[in-house]
Amino acid sequence: ELNMDLFRKCLEPINRCLGDSKMLKSCVHEIVLAGGSTRIPKVQALLCDLFNGKELNKSVNADEAVAYGAAVYAAMLSNNDAAQLQVQEMLLLDITPVSTGLQTAGGVIIGLETVGGVMTVLIP
């Protein structure tokens, strides 16, 4: 219950997508889970409830889905015409910013350092 407001926020993009597409929940044939938050049992239960008990498809490897999305994003950002041609009709949503970092309270985490408690870019 402590994190329920955060769990409910996971449903906002789904409701927005359904609203934008003017699609009813009953028209959704399959719910495929991919991504970190979908591993949380409470998020899975909320999704199942949102879609009136429909069984969730957990067959997609979340790590592979993220890696595939990163590869598509890299192709979109590249100057390689052949790569861009292959992804020109794809649309990626909900992407982590290009620079991802880590901020710690104590300063050092195995192999990763922060300078004076300020975030150090891990992936430039």
Asked if pLDDT for residue 97 goes beyond 60, the answer is: no
- Between CA 106 and CA 8 the distance in angstroms is 31
50 and 10 in contact (C-beta within 8 Å)?
no
pLDDT digits (tens, 9 = 90+) for 43-71: 899 999 999 999 998 888 877 877 887 88
The pLDDT score that the predictor gives to residue 47 is 92
Vertex 5, ends 66 and 32: CA angle to 5°?
Answer: 35
Against a cut of 0.85, is the pTM above it? no
